[in-house]
Amino acid sequence: MKRHLLASLIILITLQSGLASEEGVLRPFERGSWQKLLHAHAGRPTLVHFWGVTCGPCKVELPQLGQFMKDHPAIDVVTISADLIPNLPDATRSMLARAGLSSAENWIFNDGFADRLRFEIDPAWQGDIPRTMLVARDGAITTIEGSAEIADLQKWSDAQAAATH
């Protein structure tokens, strides 16, 4: 009896930890999430990339960002799926995994009113993706509309590293 109870408990814990890690992979981006994200990364250089499953340029750029993340461990990399087509978590996870971004902090728009989320991030943003926001250690934000050039990201990363010395 004790063995069965112990085995059941181990299975339950394993399933729960699997679900918890699965949920942790793709966080719901809702009202207030932008300020929470900025607060959580305050003082650390952070690259925030907005993309979407249906965005052609995003499909090209994501693997480059995955490599950038590997090459620049001092930079926090955050992705936010801001697709106009809601509820694509499986496709989102799949694309992030293929791009080597599963270990990044990943979010997905989770509000039927995407305009409100975009306005909270940047009132001037009309929703075009890809879009990358580089948040410096001091909180200054540089926005890149369209695909980001890896050389520009490298320059920014080098400047952030220099700012610590």
Contact in structure between 30 and 67 (CB atoms under 8 Å): no
Q: List, in order, residues 6 or more apart from 142 with CB less than 8 Å away.
A: 133, 134, 136, 156
- List domains and CATH numbers for the chain: 26-163 (3.40.30.10)
- Among 7-16, 22-31, 94-103, 105-114, which is the least confidently predicted range? 7-16
pLDDT digits (tens, 9 = 90+) for 44-102: 999 999 999 999 999 999 999 999 999 999 999 999 999 867 668 889 999 999 999 99
CA 74 to chain centre: 16
What's the whole-number mean pLDDT along residues 122-144?
96
pLDDT over 80 (residue 152): yes
C-alpha–C-alpha distance, residues 134 and 93, integer Å = 23
The pTM score is 0.83
Helix (H, G, I), strand (E, B) or coil at 22: helix
Return the pLDDT at 15. 37
Return the pLDDT at 18. 37
